[in-house]
Structure 1
Amino acid sequence: MEAWEFEADLFEYNGKGSWHFVTLPADVAFAIRCATESSRSGWGMVAVTAEIASVEFRTSLFPEKASSSYLLPVKAAVRKAARLKAGDSLKVRIALLP
């Protein structure tokens, strides 16, 4: 299983709801695009496991045109368990799901 580790800032989406995301670094996004070229969904989402502050969870990465990268959604339960807030710098580990 392929995995990547990186640091990124948590931000709150300005639209409806209070979604929080991390933008993947360009090199990680490129590696994931290459690794999933033949298995991505129609919308380009990629199923992963993620770990932030010792909290592991399953989710999907969302492609983002503006940054040519992926967004990692960080749901409320994860933010609460890891005591995270928008603006925090996070160490993130993600791995592709089969």
Structure 2
Amino acid sequence: MSDGSHAIRFEAEVVRFDGPGGWHGVFLPPDAASEARFFGRANTLGAITVRAQIGVTKIKTSLFPDKRRDSFLLPLKAELRGRENIEEGDPITVTLLVDT
């Protein structure tokens, strides 16, 4: 892309995590995780700031490293899930724009 970003598109299943608030997210599949690892600058926690599009909704968020899965987790806030009618177990398509 000419605007200095790189697009990564993937499909993943929404998972729900136990704990306060029961938050939701998706893990990047291996190919997408491999690509994301080389783009953007990780902060001290290893998170990478990205722009994402899910359905018609565009958000600015972060990918968080998951060493057990050798992947990244993309959290999905309740507002986004409500707007896009996303529930646990749904397959969703995500387009990430990672600044290069």
Same fold (TM over 0.5): yes
How many Å separate the matches in 1 of 2:68 and 2:44?
Answer: 19
- Runs of 5+ unmatched residues, structure 2: none
Question: Which 4+ stretches in 1 moved above 4 angstroms?
Answer: none
Change (3 A) 1:97 1:35: closer
Partner of 1:30: 34
The CA deviation at 1:17 is 1.9
Partner of 2:17: 13
The CA deviation at 1:55 is 1.0
The CA deviation at 1:97 is 3.9
Between 1:27-36 and 1:82-91, the stretch displaced more is: 27-36
Between 1:1-10 and 1:12-21, the stretch displaced more is: 12-21
Matches of residues 8-87 of structure 1 in structure 2 within 5 Å?
A: 8-36=12-40, 39-87=41-89
Superposition RMSD in Å? 1.2
Count of paired positions: 96
How many Å separate the matches in 2 of 1:15 and 1:27?
Answer: 29
Which letter maps to 2:20?
K
Q: Would the aligned equivalents of 2:8 and 2:36 in 1 still touch at CA under 8 Å?
A: no
How many Å separate the matches in 2 of 1:58 and 1:35?
Answer: 15
Which letter maps to 1:42?
T
Structure 2 residue corresponding to 1:89, chosen from 78, 88, 91: 91
